[in-house]
Structure 1
Amino acid sequence: MSSSLLTNSAAMTALQTLRNVSSSLQTTENRISTGQRVATASDNAAYWSIATSMRADNAALSAVSDSLGLSAATVDTEYTALTAVVGDSTGGLTKLQALLVEAKTAGIDRTKIQADITQIQQQMKGTADAATFNGVNWLSVTTATPATFDLVSSFSRVGGTPTIGSITLTISNYSLYSTSTTGILDTVSGGASVNTIDITSLTDAATDQATLSTYITQVTAALNSVASAAADLGAVKNRIATNTDFVKTLMDSVTRGVGQLVDADMNAESTRLQALQTQQQLGVQALSIANQNSQSILSLFK
């Protein structure tokens, strides 16, 4: 093989090989440092685009998860208050109904019974007013309270079209008191509402007994309505809890999917790094040997 002073083919080949090894080594080092085999669009445009969209979806799902947490707290506040208004043998509508039945007894002191009734009425009103979370109250409403309330429940995307799912609640179904007196407990029927029932002046007369029967019917109807409202919110509460678990599971699934697309296999990359480092060292030695060949030409002129 001829030797040339101007062109060292062996050195050029060794240099090209060394460049290729150095490039591969840089790629491997980047994967190890970032933990990703597709960190930028130039690494793999298709996978990078898919991963970017999936990460955006995960961010949206995270927002849905936060909204579900807020919705759960709101619903739980209203549900707890409604349950307290339904009451039991010690308070609420259940106790109020029992007191009115007791008031039907001939010769009983209805003034003392009314004292208990008044306390229950005030307790129920206070409970409804206190059922406020983040400025939202569905039990004691005003003219500024919206007729419906949407709770964000899900997010999905088909192609480029996102869809936001929600649970729509009709506030009138849960309203106990209203500034327009259209709530379950302040709607006037038969001359009084559940909130304003007063039996102090009633006697054992037939007309007064009929009035007591009307009050009992009214309270029983209110009890059924409030119990129904509580049951409805209980179902919504369970739905939100189920959606919350699903969204968290879905977020984990999306995260795993992104990882499968772009994450680097650290075991494989560490093995490749050692191999490339060895190749680099051998390349440097090969280039050094090729460069020494040119020096041998000087011996021809001695």
Structure 2
Amino acid sequence: MTSINTNTSAMTALQSLSAINNSLDETQNRISTGYRVGAASDNAAYWSIATTMRSDNKALGAVEDALGLGQAKVDTAYTGMTAAIDVVDEIKTKLVAAREPGVDKTKIQSEIKELQGQLTSIASSASFSGENWLSIGTGIAAGTKNVVASFNRAADGTVSVGTIGVDTTKTKLFDTDNTNGILDGARTGTTVVSTLALTGATTDAAISTMISDVDEAIGLMTTAASNLGAAKSRMDIQSEFVSNLRDSIEKGVGTLVDADMTEESTRLKALQTQQQLGVQALSIANSSSQSLLSLFR
């Protein structure tokens, strides 16, 4: 039946054109934003996952920064420790030389005193961001210094922060509060490396005890340097892992929500063509009722 009140063809063409326009708007939005899932209404599950993972990735960025700061602190302490080992080696060499008959021990003591001053300077200078792991004192107690190393999300959604610890009780060379550092504390033979002194009356036996105690201090410093080196190596590995993990998470989020621009551009061309045909079809449907006028002429 042909009716002037109800144009079924025009209604069908209009519905089709409206659907095409909606799809065209959606495609253009994806192209302009670059996202296939840009809001919860697009895909609630994917949007929720992507939002959570983006938040975690920001936290990992903070972890990466914390690791960089921790690496700098460890590296500063390690550099100071190795420099101090070299100086204590020199002190041991001077003490060995003092065992030679006829040697002027007071002159050797002058050299040792300068080396002891260098040790104090090294330890006090090995500071980064207000922290010194070689020289403790003025109310700053030695203990485990923790560096943020990871951000973890368990299967049940709970989060936790992992750390790498460095025990400064084993790295401190000086402790002005307790005088029990490696260099300002008494060793087995009661020698204090930072204050030992030779005089003309110092016996060979006493020098031998000093040499033994200085060697003990070198052993403790070597162990401390090894611990610092191991911590630095672990932080380097963790830092690289966190960087790679952030890249993997970003890639995974992109797979969930990013738009395929090649696919979207192809769809855009097809929808633009459909839109033109839809407009043409609606125009034809609207004009079909005009043919009824010829019946009344």
State TM-score, norm by structure 1: 0.94
- Deviation per CA, 1:46-95: give whole Å up to 9, x if none: 111111111111111111111110001110000000000011xxxx0111
Contact 2:191/2:213 (8 A) holds in 1: no
Aligned AA (2:179):
T
Structure 2 matches for 1:161-200, cutoff 5 A? 161-179=158-176, 180-189=178-187, 190=189, 192-200=191-199
How far apart, in 2, do the equivalents of 1:230 and 1:249 lie? 29
Aligned AA (1:66):
D
Moved more, 156-165 or 78-87: 156-165
Superposition deviation, residue 111 in structure 1: 1.0
Superposition deviation, residue 162 in structure 1: 1.1
How far apart, in 1, do the equivalents of 2:200 and 2:179 lie? 24
Structure 2 matches for 1:197-276, cutoff 5 A? 197-203=196-202, 208-276=203-271
How far apart, in 2, do the equivalents of 1:199 and 1:146 lie? 31
Is 1:139 the counterpart of 2:134? The answer is yes
Q: 1:155 to 1:172 in 2, by over 3 A?
A: same
How far apart, in 1, do the equivalents of 2:64 and 2:237 lie? 11
How far apart, in 1, do the equivalents of 2:141 and 2:249 lie? 38
Aligned AA (2:215):
T
Could you say which residue in structure 1 is the equivalent of 2:146?
A: 150
How far apart, in 2, do the equivalents of 1:259 and 1:133 lie? 38
Superposition deviation, residue 147 in structure 1: 1.8
Aligned residue pairs, count: 293
Could you say which residue in structure 2 is the equivalent of 1:9?
A: 8
Superposition deviation, residue 192 in structure 1: 4.4
Superposition deviation, residue 137 in structure 1: 0.2
How far apart, in 1, do the equivalents of 2:134 and 2:40 lie? 53
Aligned AA (2:97):
E
How far apart, in 2, do the equivalents of 1:274 and 1:264 lie? 16
Contact 2:142/2:169 (8 A) holds in 1: no
Could you say what secondary structure the match of 2:97 adopts?
A: helix
Aligned AA (2:153):
R
Structure 2 matches for 1:92-111, cutoff 5 A? 92-111=87-106
Aligned AA (1:174):
T
Is 1:287 the counterpart of 2:287? The answer is no
Contact 2:104/2:200 (8 A) holds in 1: no
Contact 2:182/2:220 (8 A) holds in 1: yes
Could you say what secondary structure the match of 1:151 adopts?
A: strand
Root-mean-square deviation over aligned CA pairs: 1.2
What are the ranges of 5 or more consecutive residues in structure 1 without an aligned counterpart?
none
Superposition deviation, residue 296 in structure 1: 2.0
Could you say which residue in structure 2 is the equivalent of 1:36?
A: 35
**After TM superposition, what 4+ stretches of structure 1 lie above 4 angstroms from structure 2?**
189-192
Could you say what secondary structure the match of 2:194 adopts?
A: helix
Superposition deviation, residue 217 in structure 1: 1.0
Superposition deviation, residue 154 in structure 1: 1.3
Aligned-pair identity (%): 51
How far apart, in 2, do the equivalents of 1:201 and 1:112 lie? 10
How far apart, in 2, do the equivalents of 1:15 and 1:65 lie? 56
